[in-house]
Homo-oligomer: A and B are copies of this chain.
């Protein structure tokens, strides 16, 4: 079973959200109309040095969360920048590190019922200090979380991408390559 896009328009174009309404025709002839939030996608970094995981705490006003514990992440909104360059830039900006080893683990949709946002999760290891980078948001706090206490971070966070990274590490702790 397949489908093709038969039309579409932008119905709202705001600061962050672009709302699209598109029509699709399935192979059996049915036409469906879908409204969704168009998003450029994001990279998410599971960065650790073998002892600590580098997390951030930041206010998420819209979700009503004062300080949400999250993996560092960034939007893919710089024209011409490859995803792995965004990984290095955002890792430097958010936690002051760069990684000699960057490995793609998984790409996933955050909420495919209403947005096309895809998040690419990378394992970042062999870390070194970044040259001082301008940090735009002073409300982002860097947290060095002990790898030995993954359960504590899983209990604290309520962020989906962060749970995926933490559970991935927890499920794979017996494997040597993580």
> Which residues of A are in contact with B by a Cβ distance under 8 Å?
1-3, 5, 11-12, 14-17, 19-22, 24, 26, 32-37, 39, 59-68, 70, 106-119, 139, 157-161, 163-164, 167-168, 170-171
Distance between Cα atoms of A17 and B37 in the complex (Å): 8
Cβ contact within 8 Å between B109 and A139 = no
What is the copy number of this chain in the assembly? 2
- Residues in chain B near residue A157, CB distance under 8 A: 108
- Residues in chain B near residue A20, CB distance under 8 A: 62
Q: In the complex, how many angstroms separate the beta carbon of A154 from the nearest chain B beta carbon?
A: 8
Distance between Cα atoms of A36 and B117 in the complex (Å): 14
| 8 intermolecular pairs with C-beta atoms under 8 Å apart | A1-B59, A14-B35, A34-B61, A39-B114, A64-B116, A110-B110, A163-B167, A167-B171
